[in-house]
Amino acid sequence: MHPVVADLAKAYAGRLRCLRVNTDENQEVATRYGIRSIPTILIFSKGERKETIIGAVADTALAATVDRFL
């Protein structure tokens, strides 16, 4: 999923921030957000979690989900 997210970050530069967290090294983050599977993508808007995507998804599906919150 990393290449898909990287492409998305470039396409939405200035409108979207993409961050990556290693849940093995940051277990408190995984616990806080209930991350049990990798990959998990969390979408936040104004500090509030809006969507959780678990597993690999197509770039078009991910872009469509992001568009809903921009």
pLDDT for position 56: 94
pLDDT for position 6: 94
What are the domain boundaries of the chain? Answer: 2-67
Confidence of residue 51 (pLDDT cuts 50, 70, 90): very high
**pTM passes above 0.85:** yes
Per-residue pLDDT reduced to its tens digit, 9-46: 999 999 999 999 999 999 999 999 999 999 999 999 99
Asked if residues 56 and 39 have their Cβ atoms less than 8 Å apart, the reply is yes
The topology under which CATH files domain 2-67 is Glutaredoxin (3.40.30)
CA distance 47 to 69: 12
pLDDT for position 18: 95
Q: Is the dihedral of CA 36, 48, 52, 16 positive or negative?
A: negative
The tokens of 41 are what?
Answer: 């993508």
